[in-house]
Structure 1
Amino acid sequence: MKAVVFHGNDDLRFESVPRPRIINAGDALVRVTTSTICASDIHIKYHGETMGVKPGNIIGHEFVGIVEQVGEQVSNFIPGERVAVACAFSCGECFYCRKGFPSQCPQGSVFGGSGKLDNRGAHAEFVRVPFASRVMHRIPDTLSDEDVLFVGDILSTGYYGAERGEVKAGDTVVVIGSGPVGMCAMISARLFGAEQIIAVDPDNYRLSVALKQGIANKVINPQTDSPLKAIQKLTEGRGADVVIEAVGSKTSFEAAFSYIRPAGTVSLLGVYTKGVDFPLNQYWRRNLAVKMGLVEVTHLDLLLELIKDEQINTNFLISHVLPFSEIMQGYEMFEKRVDNALKIVLKGGE
C-alpha cells in the first residue's frame, strides 16, 4: 500500500510499505476512505525527531474509514461498518484512563506520533487500530465522511479547549488563532454558552470566514489593530473571561496572558515545539487558572450526535479535496496556505 513515511526532519516520502495486519486481539484493520492533513503533521515534518517520531513511521492521525477486519476481542464492530476514529488510542483500564486522562495512558499514543514503529498513522491506505472497541465510533448512516471527518481530532481539540477553559453562559471568550483548531474552539465556546467570541489572527481571510460562519462576533488583526485595547473596550476594561490559545508560539502565549482578566482561565491548545518564558511574578497574584495539554478524545459520541442534530457543522473548513495519490501536493498546499487552504481532504486509497 501507499503511505506518507517520516525519514527524518524535513524528509517525508510517499512510498510503498507493507499493509498492516492485526497484531492483538483488540485490534481492528480499517481501510481509510477519507483523511486530512493537520498542523501537527507539519510539526512532525520539521520537528519529528525531537518529538520522538522515528524514521520509518507512517504519520497522519485524522481520518475515517471502513472496518476491514476485527480481532477476536472486538465484538461491537463488524467488517463493512463506517467508523470515525479518535486521533489517539488508549487502553481504558489503567490509572490515567480511569481518571479521565487517556492521553497519558502508558499503552497509548497518537496515531503515527510516537517512536513505536508498529504505531502507524492514517496517511496510508490501511490503518491498524489498537483498542478498537473504544477508539472507533460508528458513523450514522445519514452523515457523510466529510460531515464527521474532524471529530477525531480538531473538533475534539476545540471542544476540549472550551471545556478546559470552563466557558460559561454569558462569557467573553478570546480565541487566538483562526486556523481550523481555533475555529473549532469558537464553535465549541458557543455550545458552552459564550455570549461574545473574539477571534485574533493576522490572516484576514481566516478572520472573514469566522465572521461569515457566525462563530465569532468580533475579529481583530493584530497587524493593523491593538487586540488588547479592543478587548478591554469590549469588556469594560476587565479582559476576557476565557482565552483559548490555538497557535503554539511565544507571541501567542504572551498574548493569552495579556488578554485575560483577573480570575479568568487560559486554555492552551497550541502545539509548542519550543519552550517559553513564564513570568510567574507578574501573574501569580491575578488568581488565574491555566489549563494545557494534549486533547482527551472522550467526547466523540457526543460530537457525532451534535453533528447529526445539525448543532455543529464543520464542512466549511474543507477548502480543497484531492485524491489520496496527491497527498504530497496537499501537504505543500496546506503548509503554504495555497489558495487560502484551511483543510485539505484526501479521498480514497486502493
Structure 2
Amino acid sequence: YVNDPASVTSLKGSQNCCPGVQVIGVHNNGGLRQGIFAVPARKLHAGNDLSYDQLALVETLAIGYHAVQRGNPQPGETVLVIGAGPIGLACLEFLKLMDVKAVVMDMVRSRLDFSSRNLGIRHTLLFAPDGSHLAELDKLTDGRLADVIIDATGNPQSMSTCFDYAAFTGRVVYVGITTSDLTFPHAPVFHRRELTLLASRNAMPEDFENIIQLIREGKINTTPWITHRISFDDVPAGFHQFADPALGTIKAIIDVR
C-alpha cells in the first residue's frame, strides 16, 4: 500500500484508508518485475525466511486479520463469518487462535468442509433458502445469536440481511465490497438491537508483521490454501479455469520461476 503520509487520515494512524492510498497491483502496475524502488521512509516487512508460497498469502491473510480487529471479538463471544472464500477463510485463521466460538456460513458445502478439514472450524452452517440456517445458529448460541458478524461475501443480499444473525448490541463488519446500494430494516432490527456497523478496508502495517510472525511460529499453515498451480506460459490458455466453482480453487499460484 502506498499512502500519503501527510494526509489527515494517515496522521491519525489509518494508512490503510488514506484518501489517496494506492495498492500496487490494483490502482497501479504490480510488482512482477526484478526490482521496485521503495521510498526510504516506507517500511518493508522482513520475510526473507519465508517461502514464496507463504509470502504470496500474507496480503490475503492481512485483509482477514484487519476485519477481525475491526470486529474486536471478546473472550467467549460468538463470531459468525459469512462467506468461506479466501477472505472469509482468512478471518477464520485468526479467530481459531482466539477464545471465541467461530462459526462459518456458506452456500457451498465443499468450502465449509475445507474450513473444517484444514482450519479446524467445528461450527459450520450451510445457507438454506428456507431460512433453517437461522434456527441452527439460534440453537448453537442458546438463542443469543452472533456477537460479531463478518460479512465476506460482497453480495448485496447477504450484506442487507446479515443483521438478522446479530445478537443485541452486536457488531457487523463489512469486509466484502459491493457497488450496489444496500437497504435493511432500521427500527425493527438495527435500531432495536442497537447494532454497530463497521467497514474494513485493506490492512495496517503491523498486521503484516504479526501475520509473518504467526507463519514463522507455525500457528498459520498456508500450504492447504494453495489448491492449484499454473506456469506463467500457460496463463493465457488456462487461467479462466480457476473461475469454475467445480474446480474448488481457493488460491492458485502462477509460477514465474
- Structure 2 residue identity aligned to 1:230: E
How much has 1:174 moved relative to structure 2?
A: 0.8
The 5 Å alignment of 1:1-350 reads 88-114=1-27, 119-122=28-31, 124-125=32-33, 128=36, 131=39, 134=42, 136-141=44-49, 143-152=50-59, 154-194=60-100, 196-223=101-128, 226-282=132-188, 283-298=190-205, 299-329=207-237, 331-348=239-256
Q: List per-residue Cα deviations over 1:266-304 (Å, max 9, x = no partner).
A: 111102121111332331231111111312232111110
Q: Is the 8 A contact 1:197 1:215 kept in 2?
A: no
Cα-Cα RMSD? 2.2
Kindly indicate which of the two structures has a greater share of residues assigned to helix.
2
Q: Give the SS at the match of 2:103.
A: strand
Structure 2: distance between partners of 1:132 and 1:172:
43
- Alpha-carbon distance change, 96 to 332 in structure 1, aligned in 2, over 3 angstroms: same
Structure 1: distance between partners of 2:42 and 2:198:
26
Q: List per-residue Cα deviations over 1:251-272 (Å, max 9, x = no partner).
A: 2113321111010111111021
Q: List per-residue Cα deviations over 1:307-345 (Å, max 9, x = no partner).
A: 101111222111111122333455412322352111111
Greater CA deviation, 90-99 or 172-181? Answer: 90-99
Q: Is the 8 A contact 2:108 2:126 kept in 1?
A: yes
- Structure 2 residue identity aligned to 1:316: P
Q: Give the SS at the match of 1:151.
A: helix
Q: Is the 8 A contact 1:125 1:348 kept in 2?
A: no
User: Structure 2: where are the runs of 5+ without partners?
Assistant: none
Q: Is the 8 A contact 2:127 2:133 kept in 1?
A: yes
Q: Give the SS at the match of 1:191.
A: coil
- Alpha-carbon distance change, 280 to 158 in structure 1, aligned in 2, over 3 angstroms: same
- Alpha-carbon distance change, 311 to 227 in structure 1, aligned in 2, over 3 angstroms: same
- Alpha-carbon distance change, 181 to 328 in structure 1, aligned in 2, over 3 angstroms: farther
User: Structure 1: where are the runs of 5+ without partners?
Assistant: 1-87
Structure 2: distance between partners of 1:313 and 1:328:
30
Q: Is the 8 A contact 2:63 2:202 kept in 1?
A: yes
Q: Give the SS at the match of 1:276.
A: coil
Structure 2: distance between partners of 1:158 and 1:164:
10
Kindly indicate which of the two structures has a greater share of residues assigned to strand.
1
- Alpha-carbon distance change, 242 to 310 in structure 1, aligned in 2, over 3 angstroms: same
Aligned length, in residue pairs: 254
Q: Give the SS at the match of 2:153.
A: coil
Q: Give the SS at the match of 1:136.
A: coil
Q: Is the 8 A contact 2:148 2:171 kept in 1?
A: yes
Which residue does 1:67 correspond to in 2?
Answer: none
Q: Is the 8 A contact 2:230 2:253 kept in 1?
A: yes
Q: Is the 8 A contact 1:199 1:219 kept in 2?
A: yes
Greater CA deviation, 246-255 or 305-314? Answer: 246-255
Which residue does 1:22 correspond to in 2?
Answer: none
Q: List per-residue Cα deviations over 1:208-261 (Å, max 9, x = no partner).
A: 011112442211111377221111111111111111100111221133211110
